[in-house]
Amino acid sequence: MDMQKITNCIGKGAFVEAENAWMAAVRDDPAPELVNKALCAFVAAGKEDMAETLGWALLEAHAESPKEQTLALACAAYLALPGSEELRSQTAELFKAAYGDSENFEEIYKAAGLETGQSARRAIRTLQTCLALTPGVHLVNRFDGRLIKIIRLTPMGEFEFHDFADKRDEAIEPKLLADEFDPLDEADFRAMQLAGVDAMTQLVQKEIARVLIGLCIANAGQADSDTIKQTLVPKYLPASKWSSWWGRARTAAKKSENLTLEGRSPVVVIYHPGGKTLEEEYLASQAYQGAYHPIDWLGVLQNYMRDASARGDRPDANFTATITAAIAQRTLKCASSSQLAEALEGVLVLEIAGQMGIAPPGESLPGAIEILDKMKDPAEAVAKLPEADLWPGAIKAVHDLSNGPEIFEQLLYLAPLEQLDTIAANLAELGNNDAPSQAVARAIISPIEHIDLCLWVWLAEGQIVVDQPGKLTMLMKLLDLAHEIDHNWPGDQASRKNARQKVRQALSAGDYAIYQQALDEADEAMGSVVKTKIERTDSLAQALSEQMINRLREKFFSLFVKARVNPWEDESVIWTSEAALEAHHKELKVLKEVTMPANAKQIGEAAEEGDLRENADWQAAIEERDMLVARARKIQDELARARAIHITHVPKDSIGIGSRVTLRRVADGETFEMSFLGPWDSDTANGIYAYTTKLAKNLMGKKIGDTLSLEIAGQQGQFTI
């Protein structure tokens, strides 16, 4: 079914043409998801009657098809037209015909409520999920990722299952099960993991393609290299083995008829269940169907040529010609409508296609020089090119322009880090050696406005400009820049994140070789400044900060010699009484065993009200679940740091955590009794103070007979212990 043609016709209001395209496709084997999408497009355009007529035409055309196939098409049509009682009735009859003889059908069918007013989406989901369940089948919770295994359908019409997370058996009503769980393909990585760590460790080494397919299935059909690494390392694969394993994995993916690779950083592994031809895979891919701009088509072409080479296939000239024709048409349209930036992208993409051995399109197109010459701000257009692959062609064109030196000078402030060497080289070739030095001088004054220029100087192996700052100077600038990114970033969160990542990568470049050069330029006083800057900068991330501090410690050990930390000053520990510790454990238990299950029940009950996207009760229940999960995690984190106060911890010759103290006011002899316990024990009305309070900190470490100035009960005075 040509969805693009049908939706394009609907978008233009050409409903007769759209109907003809539909009727031409109904006798084929259309995918149910495409059927639903097309009918939804008719409904959205106000053609609900036409959509229902077309749905019936499809079902009649497949009346003799296998029952399961016809049922899938009927479900797709009914979900697009949930108000059609005729389609509801037909879908019900098809379910009975396909599953009526199966065990437990009546119980599940009744629970789904297809004929008793249940919403179409929920009823269909319940039937499709639950009718396929047999003992031993695994499912995964779509909200929290929990895995369960079906044991049986009880006489009460509930599914009994084993919860692997809680390690216990439970029961759930079919609708609620379908609301929360999806069937888990046995090829899914999450199902594989049930075999245990030892078995998975061997599988990761011996059956790489199978592991990749499992990871893709677990992540909605595709998984990028970052996700794969996070999943496998270090549980099933040592970090030191990742690079070599990933090289083998890429080779395995390229040889597989069911896997393809897209993108570069990160690489995305995509699973194709049907094992289609390469061209069929691409025609059905989201990348191909969603391609519109030249840069979209460039990604399709590059991946296609790479995959064809990996499979030993000759590229299909007709397939590539279709793409280059689409690029040419878009380029001509943009060039004639003042969308010159995209027109530039188009001609540069076609240049790259030619370099890959792809025949040029038949249309006569303007060149990159001609397009740049017409632009008001060619430097900005070049700087905004969306892919690094487009830059070589653009640089060559700028070089040949009469105002090329001026454009290159502007690009110093606009271009990404990776292009600055080339721009500087072109400026030198055109006789302008001063511009890079002037740009660097400006960048040093305001690093946050010129991040890439600063990183260019930091990463340079030799001298790239006159009066180039040393590595220590640039280290200071980068640490200040990291702090500025945290506190004074002028852009949005996405650009802040990107800037942080750039600085982190630069600081750790060459296994911290440049950072080490900077430390070699420092004395101990400057080392102390570096230490302070590192410790105050949150955006460095823990691993990076630790590596930098470790190298600084090796260079200037004396900066890290510390006195022993008193218990009340150790922020890594939360001291508490046994009773308060037990109370926190009980709170966590109630959260996990009472409050959170009750919330899960609320989610299920709210889901019965219909479309989850417009269900305020369901959204509120989900938000409450998130808050409960956050509270539970906080308590778990605190419990991990908590230590109970025992008599052996309480000092005998001075005040410490756990001490009971009597103070005598010097002025009038009045006495005050107080105890110092943890922050969870605080009860000032009964004289129990947390050791973290100001009063406690003033008294910690003091001895009997000591007199000091304190504020107690709102009154300042001299008190003796």
Confidence band (pLDDT; 50, 70, 90) for 656?
A: very high
pLDDT at position 563 is: 54
Greatest mean pLDDT among 30-34, 430-434, 436-440, 701-705 lies in: 701-705
Torsion (CA) 681, 686, 691, 694 in degrees, nearest 10: 130
Task: Give 559's DSSP letter.
Answer: G
Token output for 340: 């010159």
Whether the Cβ atoms of residue 409 and residue 418 lie closer than 8 Å to each other: no
pLDDT at position 611 is: 57
pLDDT at position 2 is: 66
Task: Give 568's DSSP letter.
Answer: G
- For residue 410, pLDDT beyond 70: yes
Range in 507-511, 596-600, 618-622, 700-704 with the lowest mean pLDDT: 618-622
Q: Phi and psi for 717 in degrees, rounded to 5?
A: -175, 180
- For residue 614, pLDDT beyond 70: no
Residue with tokens 């990761």: 204
- For residue 691, pLDDT beyond 60: yes
The CATH-assigned architecture of domain 578-644 is Orthogonal Bundle (1.10)
Report the DSSP beta bridge partners of residue 408: none
Domain 648-720 CATH assignment equals 3.60.130.10: no
> Shortest CA distance to 345 belongs to which of 293, 412, 290?
293
Range in 175-179, 389-393, 585-589 with the lowest mean pLDDT: 585-589
Confidence band (pLDDT; 50, 70, 90) for 562?
A: low
- For residue 274, pLDDT beyond 80: no
- How many CB atoms neighbour CB 333 within 10 A? 13
The size of the chain, in residues, is 721
pLDDT at position 131 is: 94
Give pLDDT tens digits for 346-373: 999 999 999 999 999 988 999 999 999 9
Q: Phi and psi for 51 in degrees, rounded to 5?
A: -60, -40
Residue with tokens 């009794």: 673
By percentage, how much of the chain surpasses pLDDT 90? 66
Confidence band (pLDDT; 50, 70, 90) for 344?
A: very high
Torsion (CA) 514, 515, 520, 522 in degrees, nearest 10: 130
- Rounded average pLDDT over 544-550: 93
> Shortest CA distance to 534 belongs to which of 511, 517, 553?
553
User: Which residues does 656 contact at the CB level (< 8 Å), separation at least 6?
Assistant: 567, 568, 649, 650, 676, 700, 701
Token output for 625: 């679940």
Domain ranges for the chain: 3-99, 189-275, 578-644, 648-720
Instruction: Give me the long-range contacts of 170-176 (CB less than 8 A, separation at least 24).
Output: 173/111, 173/604, 174/107, 174/108, 174/111, 174/112, 174/126, 174/130, 175/111, 175/112, 175/113, 175/118, 175/122, 175/126, 175/604, 175/607, 175/608, 176/604, 176/607
Q: How many CA atoms lie within 13 A of 434 on its CB side?
A: 1
pLDDT at position 228 is: 97
pLDDT at position 535 is: 84
> Shortest CA distance to 222 belongs to which of 315, 126, 150, 287?
287
Range in 95-99, 415-419, 422-426, 567-571 with the lowest mean pLDDT: 567-571
Average pLDDT over the chain, rounded to an integer: 90
Confidence band (pLDDT; 50, 70, 90) for 458?
A: very high
Whether the Cβ atoms of residue 627 and residue 559 lie closer than 8 Å to each other: no
Sequence-ordered alpha helix ranges (H) in 556-595: 578-590
Residue with tokens 């009880």: 154
- Rounded average pLDDT over 686-714: 93
Give pLDDT tens digits for 415-426: 999 999 999 999
How big is the chain by its Cα radius of gyration, in Å?
Answer: 34
Token output for 530: 């570096």
pLDDT at position 612 is: 55
pLDDT at position 60 is: 92
Token output for 468: 């180039």
Sequence-ordered alpha helix ranges (H) in 337-433: 340-355, 368-374, 378-383, 391-399, 404-414, 420-429
- Higher per-residue confidence, 147 vs 535: 147
- For residue 260, pLDDT beyond 90: no
338: left (phi over 0), alpha (psi -120 to 50) or beta: left
- For residue 11, pLDDT beyond 70: yes
Distances 550 to 99, 373, 481, 553, 557 between C-alpha atoms, Å: 66, 53, 21, 5, 10
- Higher per-residue confidence, 116 vs 626: 116
Range in 317-326, 376-385, 487-496 with the lowest mean pLDDT: 487-496
User: Which residues does 366 contact at the CB level (< 8 Å), separation at least 6?
Assistant: 335, 343, 347
pLDDT at position 372 is: 95
pLDDT at position 626 is: 80
Confidence band (pLDDT; 50, 70, 90) for 153?
A: very high
- For residue 663, pLDDT beyond 90: yes
Give pLDDT tens digits for 42-63: 999 999 999 999 999 999 999 8
Distances 256 to 201, 210, 260, 304 between C-alpha atoms, Å: 21, 10, 8, 15
Give the end-to-end CA distance of the chain in Å, rounded to a whole number.
88
Give pLDDT tens digits for 205-224: 999 999 999 999 999 899 99
- Higher per-residue confidence, 129 vs 535: 129
Q: How many CA atoms lie within 13 A of 564 on its CB side?
A: 2
- For residue 94, pLDDT beyond 60: yes
pLDDT at position 3 is: 66
pTM for the model stands at 0.45
- How many CB atoms neighbour CB 692 within 10 A? 16
- For residue 673, pLDDT beyond 90: yes
pLDDT at position 402 is: 92
pLDDT at position 1 is: 57
pLDDT at position 224 is: 96
- The sign of the CA dihedral 343, 348, 350, 353 is negative
Angle subtended at Cα 132 by Cα 126 and Cα 134, rounded to the nearest 5 degrees: 120
